[in-house]
Amino acid sequence: MKITRRKLIRAAAAGTAMTGTLGLPTALFAGQKTVKLGMNIPMTGDYAPWGLPGLYGCQIVANDLNAAGGVKIGGDNYKIEIVAYDHAYDTEKAVQGYKKLVLEDRVKMVMMLGGSTVASVLPWARRKKMLTTTLLPSDITPKSDYLIATCESHPLYNVTGVEWLAENHPEAKTAVIVTNNDAEYGLQSAATYKAAFEVAGIKVVDVNLHGFDITDFAPIVSSVLAKKPDIFCMATSFYVTPLMEQLYHQGFKGKIISCTLDYYNEIIAKTSKDFVNGTIFQFPDFDDPALNQAGVSFPNPADFDAKFRKAHPTDWSAVSWEYPAILLNWLEGAKAAGSVEPTAVLSALKSNKNPNFVFGEGEWWGKDLWGQDNALVGRWPVVVVEDGKARIQEYRSVSSWLDRNKAVLIRHMKDLGLRTV
């Protein structure tokens, strides 16, 4: 499996681009056109787990669509080609890769992870009227007309886990929050959790923000556990595994809630199945039976899960299905617009009052917090580890929580110095 991954990176290296058509018959069907979709994501470095698995996912979806004869958009038949560049979460490389995708490869959409790398390309998105997507709605600004977040509603969905926890474990009354101290992922999540805990009547007794320079988490965990919390919350930490390990060794018996729990099998190997069971987080495995419910728009999730794990057995992460879901959103928009042109697809997507969100119907949201309704928000699954396996407990509505409590959320965001309108 390591070899496959390395081979792919080599393939990337060969032309600095990977295409979604690797290993497929390259012959086009009669009269078929090609539409190029870009990915400007981290494939190396610390952030690679939130980039590379998304490329693998998109390749699977694109291959399936192409193998079925391509997609029909506005009377034409298109083959989808994915062009991906690695920016290693570096703004300089992100700008270069973005301009290359837009000006040289002539892609019709650029998918990105978010944060500073998205901020650095926004002026170009505006100038070239290029449809750009992010996984972080907090990247939206009053001026970012061409940036949309159609899949992940980070950090908003975290409220669903807290709601579920408060309902199912009413005895838990105090919480500590531990997270990375970056304004893009960690602090956004920390503010959201603080708001959600406040609304649920749970007292936050400590917030510990840690840097990327920590080698040992024992002091941090000891320090927050001294507050005797009922709930240990990891907002968005890059260090979930070592934190969980310390919790295990320091004998924590309360509830654990986290935004992500990537590679939870490794955590189980480091601690125990019993310890990890009951951990609440937000990202399902796609063989989950609850994904076959009516309303979920992702086609045949179990099949996608199987194909992904067959090709890349150890790479499943929170983003594996998210970039593909964005690709499918784009396809829907393009079909509605009858065109692949970025502005047409964008206006078709935005003019749909009840667009198809990955977990069901959604609505465009974001104006109150970031200045534009460019984030698609709907219901989101609450996932809990049961007998060593992630299982969706239920779907809860993010939008209705926001309707009731957005003032609380905005207050906590301002508290942590985050940008709001």
Tokens of 278: 């009951």
Per-position DSSP letters for 182-235, written without gaps between them: -TTTHHHHHHHHHHHHHHHT-EEEEEEEE-S--S--HHHHHHHHTT--SEEEES
Task: Decide if residue 421 touches other proteins (CB under 8 A).
Answer: no
Distance of CA 317 to the CA centre of its chain: 9
Nearer CB in complex with other proteins: 321/395: 321
Q: Smallest distance from the beta carbon of 384 to other proteins, in angstroms? A: 22
Task: Decide if residue 300 touches other proteins (CB under 8 A).
Answer: no
Nearer CB in complex with other proteins: 99/335: 99
Taking the C-alpha atoms of residue 149 and residue 151, their distance in angstroms, rounded to an integer, is 6
Query: Which residue in this structure is represented by tokens 């179990």?
Result: 302
Q: Which of 33, 129, 203, 218 contacts other proteins by CB under 8 A?
A: 218
Q: Which stretch binds other proteins (CB under 8 A): 65-73, 205-213, 334-342, 403-411?
A: 205-213
Nearer CB in complex with other proteins: 230/245: 245
Q: Which stretch binds other proteins (CB under 8 A): 218-226, 290-298, 353-361, 385-393?
A: 218-226
Q: Which of 26, 34, 181, 293 contacts other proteins by CB under 8 A?
A: 181
Task: Decide if residue 95 touches other proteins (CB under 8 A).
Answer: yes
Q: Which stretch binds other proteins (CB under 8 A): 41-49, 293-301, 324-332, 399-407?
A: 41-49
SS3 71: strand
Q: In what order do the strands lie in the sheet with 231-234?
A: 203-210, 174-180, 231-234, 255-258, 280-281, 379-386, 389-397
Degrees, nearest 5: CA angle 217-223-229: 110
Of 72, 66, 54, the C-alpha closest to 308 is 54
Query: Which residue in this structure is represented by tokens 């499996």?
Result: 1
Kindly write out the interface string for residues 337-366 of this chain, putting x where it contacts other proteins by CB under 8 A and - elsewhere. Answer: ------------------------------
Binding positions for other proteins, 129-148, rule CB under 8 A: 141
Binding positions for other proteins, 232-291, rule CB under 8 A: 239, 241-242, 245, 249-251, 262-263, 266, 269-270, 272
Q: Which stretch binds other proteins (CB under 8 A): 1-9, 31-39, 330-338, 342-350?
A: 1-9
Q: Smallest distance from the beta carbon of 380 to other proteins, in angstroms? A: 23
Tokens of 298: 């992702």
Q: Which stretch binds other proteins (CB under 8 A): 57-65, 73-81, 84-92, 384-392?
A: 84-92
Q: Which stretch binds other proteins (CB under 8 A): 19-27, 190-198, 221-229, 366-374?
A: 221-229
Tokens of 220: 């941090």
Q: Which of 29, 34, 92, 289 contacts other proteins by CB under 8 A?
A: 92
Q: Could you tell me how many residues of this chain bind other proteins (CB under 8 A)? A: 76
Nearer CB in complex with other proteins: 86/163: 86
Taking the C-alpha atoms of residue 20 and residue 39, their distance in angstroms, rounded to an integer, is 11
Phi, psi of 46 (to 5 degrees): -60, -35
Nearer CB in complex with other proteins: 208/339: 208
Task: Decide if residue 220 touches other proteins (CB under 8 A).
Answer: yes
- Please name the amino acid found at residue 93: K
Q: Smallest distance from the beta carbon of 97 to other proteins, in angstroms? A: 8
Q: Which stretch binds other proteins (CB under 8 A): 28-36, 118-126, 303-311, 346-354?
A: 118-126
Q: Smallest distance from the beta carbon of 187 to other proteins, in angstroms? A: 7
Of 379, 381, 375, 420, the C-alpha closest to 400 is 379
Distance of CA 264 to the CA centre of its chain: 17
Q: Smallest distance from the beta carbon of 150 to other proteins, in angstroms? A: 22
Q: How many CA atoms lie within 13 A of 83 on its CB side?
A: 21
Taking the C-alpha atoms of residue 381 and residue 388, their distance in angstroms, rounded to an integer, is 18
- Please name the amino acid found at residue 4: T
SS3 314: coil
How crowded is residue 239: how many other Cβ atoms within 10 Å of its Cβ?
18
Q: Which of 82, 84, 111, 122 contacts other proteins by CB under 8 A?
A: 122
